Structure 1
Amino acid sequence: MSDFDKEVAKIQKYNQPIIEGFKVWLEKANLSTKTIKNHILNIEFFAEYLVGYEPLQKLDEADDQDVYDFLLNYFPHKAMWASESSTKSYMGSFKKFFSYMVETDKISSEIEAEVKDTLKEGKQEFLDAVSE
């Protein structure tokens, strides 16, 4: 196994409790099983993106620039299912995920605010990226 693969595996192991905690948080919000599964799958795919390229990042290191790059460049070009509705789904998942991260003291409220601003300001740009 290469050093890169070892580092990816280490980060994936690190991210797992974050994803599990997010799932519990969503369950406590009384969301449907289908909605919870969708949010988890979205964040797992985002986590894969974060370790796909240098610099490798953990979920609690992600910020508004990572979300922007994911929604504008990575998702529209790498996901066969990329569409306006799936982009909106990711935007909703990011809002919930970053709220969870603040509530559990994994990131600052400033990062959450920047992500939410990016989602709001970039919405049309993200939707256009999957329509092209």
Structure 2
Amino acid sequence: MKIGEIARLTGLKVETVRFYEAEGLIGAPIRSGGNYRVYNGSHLDRLSFIKRSRDLGFTLDQVRDLLRLADDPRGSCAEVDAIAAVHIHEIDRKLADLAALRTEIVQWGATCDATTIADCRIIDALSNAG
């Protein structure tokens, strides 16, 4: 399949497929007589794995490590567990940050009894956030 088709099937942009190829995350596809990239099922599987991993928030380096580990099915999954644990810790940190942000914005709204923008507590808090 050509790059446009594999991009469509994986939900990636053509430029992203090229980027992953340049980064060595997928093997270089063969070239057709017209010099088009020709991808196969293994490219599709690998790109789908990358897309799903990225959608779940894994960094590019983590994806690279996960792919390396996935390439050795007899290897220990302890490294995969370690990568997942680091990612879970980062998710938990982000959730705590979002909860704190939500609390702050709710408090702004709860203390705002202004009727005009000039007296609005939320606008004032955002203006003085620096």
Which structure is richer in relative contact order (CA contacts within 8 A, separation 6 or more)? 1
| Alignment TM-score > 0.5, same fold | no
Higher Cα Rg: structure 1 or 2? 2
TM-score by length of 2: 0.26
- In the superposition, the TM-score normalised over structure 1's length comes to 0.26
